[in-house]
Structure 1
């Protein structure tokens, strides 16, 4: 049954199980080494340490988390660089016109460390998160403006962020084996300079109800934020995060789970658990960045695994959407759809070389259901 975007929270109710994907079987690898369903094609948008085609800008090393920001009739793809500040850490952007042609590229954040994932905001900024101890969230301006640190959002090993315009909060993941799941409640929605950092409090099980509690000292020193609130729930290696229709999903790489938080019911449960998949072998391992289509499908990228982006449908079915071949020492990251939903951008962080200098950013076009 086809379920619209607005049915997400009602549809996802159990860990996803293996099934044939909505686009059918993967075809043989194309010229870029990518296996896609029939009707889909891939192109290379940029390569690390090479000039972005049609511009004078050299693309950054180790492309990681990314997002698409609307820009008039076109859009901007933003991408983090997961390297140290001395090696060029930060974030960059590629500008596209309404037909998908590249019309510019430039740096939007410099001098930061291990910018892994992040998230876009409803006011068209990109939150670039530092995946280091006492890391910060940087608010960047893909459409123009100077990046600024947002320390009120907490100092910890940040991974991803997802904006919830209904509750007017930003959800945050933490990449620690005993990481927490947070939300930031701005004093004023649209202004992240001040507010309250809260942490999810729940039992030790894999499902149940939850509440939020204030983190007393968001700067994380001397006591780390994850250790400040008794009863806060531990998650094993928080990674990607995505919000839609009163539900927030996030991934944990330590146990290969995609978590689903029903914000109306105040409950949490696994939307995917690789130990509970049947029949056959679990397709998704090394869970990492996650995004969603307007139709309601979740797209989850792998850090390792079989270098796949897997698709979870609203009726709890999981399948492989694409597979990148010949890049076994890399990871897939930064999946993001254009506003029309007919283009999916993503990166292979280390490409065919296995080094940060070998990153490749792609675009897949085709008959995505919207």
Structure 2
């Protein structure tokens, strides 16, 4: 395969250009994120002499953890496939970091089983948790959830826990599993034994990706990254005990799927600013998918609305935003796109296509396949890229200015055909002074500090 322009830029240290983000970016930011950066970015990326992570001048990184190293707890090696992550405030200025490991049945390094924290001993995924001091020194690193499968993303709750999502529909007996998978698990960042390894079955059994919780009423929004057509759905869960704190989601509730009347596939919508009023929510007939996957169940004459590669999800002000990473008609989608960000306003039952990602003229340029997204404390978004060629964390301002914040430098290919692992799990410390981010392969967790605005 010939080198793409992205690969050439990565090898030469050139700046990233040619990204198109079209739409009303200001709609994605509220509160502290409304007053966005003055000038885009922090300058060009500087090649890292150590060959790990390229950053702008003035920024530096610490490697908190790498796959294959020993966990500080002594429970075994650091698992592979570092994915979704969130940071939580601890006591005495400390930070707790919870990290997913998206190990399937053939994952390279499994999450070690741990007493009281293991759901299915035959499964290799789960979560690990760090305790960091104010200088990002690792004070502790341990298993927080084990025996789960394909823990991709998730999301934090208003009461300070992490919801870890299994991106699979495998059943008992598949790949030697002893239990059904495809659930959400709650993880307490400081004391995982408080939450244990209990599936939140009322939130459904499907290929979960990410979650966002409405802090006003406790409604949980969920994305589904289904692997084949017809693709995943966008869900909301109405808990019986809204905002009840740790363990409250075990009390059950009602799972519903989003229906946009007349729109069976969101990929068919191509124009930023397109608005749909009167969005409907339809009860899921069988949330546990005992016989039929949730996305394929009968939702009545109006059908249901699908979308390919539903990934990142976050709450902003009075709205929930979610990402469709890409769509390809060849895979079964209605149309092609390089990434969309949608905004749903619950109080108005209104859905808006806010942003369309993509290269200006060349599909090989950066800017396609947005995955994990987080709000930056100083304003704007940080976007993890999951496409071909060089992999970046991009910053995105309210005015639509795009800048490279980080670039992976660990070549997992060959000198002739280089390749780089995707970024995942971007999140910020509670005080906003550190950006944490994972390289998926080889599994590496970075803490990035510098002159944040």
TM-score by length of 1: 0.87
Rounded Cα–Cα distance in structure 1 between residues aligned with 2:373 and 2:236: 18
Rounded Cα–Cα distance in structure 2 between residues aligned with 1:5 and 1:269: 16
Partner of 1:354 in structure 2?
none
Work out whether 1:33 is the aligned partner of 2:49: no
Work out whether 1:199 is the aligned partner of 2:257: yes
Rounded Cα–Cα distance in structure 2 between residues aligned with 1:108 and 1:244: 28
Q: Mean alpha-carbon deviation: is it higher for 149-158 or for 246-255?
A: 246-255
Structure whose alpha-carbon radius of gyration is higher: 2
Rounded Cα–Cα distance in structure 2 between residues aligned with 1:367 and 1:272: 28
Work out whether 1:188 is the aligned partner of 2:279: no
- Does the Cα contact within 8 Å between 2:32 and 2:378 map onto a contact in 1? no
Distance 1:368 1:260, change over 3 A: farther
> Which one has a larger percent strand, Structure 1 or Structure 2?
1
Rounded Cα–Cα distance in structure 1 between residues aligned with 2:197 and 2:396: 34
Partner of 1:169 in structure 2?
219
Q: Mean alpha-carbon deviation: is it higher for 55-64 or for 333-342?
A: 55-64
Rounded Cα–Cα distance in structure 1 between residues aligned with 2:398 and 2:125: 36
Structure 1's unaligned 5+ residue stretches are 13-19, 352-358
- Does the Cα contact within 8 Å between 1:168 and 1:185 map onto a contact in 2? yes
Alignment of 1:293-332 (within 5 A): 293-305=376-388, 306-327=390-411, 328-332=419-423
Distance 1:24 1:265, change over 3 A: farther
Alignment of 1:218-297 (within 5 A): 218-228=287-297, 229=299, 230-255=302-327, 256-263=338-345, 264-275=347-358, 278=360, 283-297=366-380
**How many Å apart are 1:61 and its aligned residue?**
1.4
Rounded Cα–Cα distance in structure 1 between residues aligned with 2:379 and 2:220: 20
- Does the Cα contact within 8 Å between 2:321 and 2:343 map onto a contact in 1? yes
Partner of 2:164 in structure 1?
128
Alignment of 1:142-181 (within 5 A): 142-144=189-191, 145=194, 146-176=196-226, 177=228, 178-181=231-234
**How many Å apart are 1:162 and its aligned residue?**
1.2
Work out whether 1:106 is the aligned partner of 2:125: no
For residues 6-39 of structure 1, what are the alpha-carbon distances to aligned partners after superposition, in whole Å with 9 as ceiling and x for unaligned? 176x899xxxxxxx73323222335243221222
Rounded Cα–Cα distance in structure 1 between residues aligned with 2:424 and 2:312: 9
Rounded Cα–Cα distance in structure 2 between residues aligned with 1:184 and 1:104: 34
Work out whether 1:46 is the aligned partner of 2:65: yes
Distance 1:299 1:79, change over 3 A: same
Rounded Cα–Cα distance in structure 2 between residues aligned with 1:7 and 1:366: 20
**How many Å apart are 1:271 and its aligned residue?**
3.5
Rounded Cα–Cα distance in structure 2 between residues aligned with 1:28 and 1:143: 36
Work out whether 1:338 is the aligned partner of 2:403: no
Q: Mean alpha-carbon deviation: is it higher for 62-71 or for 149-158?
A: 62-71
**How many Å apart are 1:339 and its aligned residue?**
0.4
SS at match of 1:321: strand
**How many Å apart are 1:362 and its aligned residue?**
0.9
Q: Please, what is the CA RMSD of the aligned residues?
A: 2.6
Work out whether 1:66 is the aligned partner of 2:80: no
SS at match of 1:149: coil
Partner of 1:6 in structure 2?
31
Distance 1:94 1:312, change over 3 A: same
Distance 1:79 1:7, change over 3 A: closer
**How many Å apart are 1:55 and its aligned residue?**
5.5
- Does the Cα contact within 8 Å between 1:303 and 1:332 map onto a contact in 2? yes
Rounded Cα–Cα distance in structure 1 between residues aligned with 2:42 and 2:293: 45
Aligned length: 351
Work out whether 1:348 is the aligned partner of 2:439: yes
Which residue, out of 74, 79, 82, partners 2:99?
A: 79
Structure 2's unaligned 5+ residue stretches are 1-25, 106-121, 170-180, 328-337, 412-418
Distance 1:246 1:32, change over 3 A: farther
Partner of 1:356 in structure 2?
none
Rounded Cα–Cα distance in structure 2 between residues aligned with 1:5 and 1:366: 24
- Does the Cα contact within 8 Å between 2:391 and 2:420 map onto a contact in 1? no
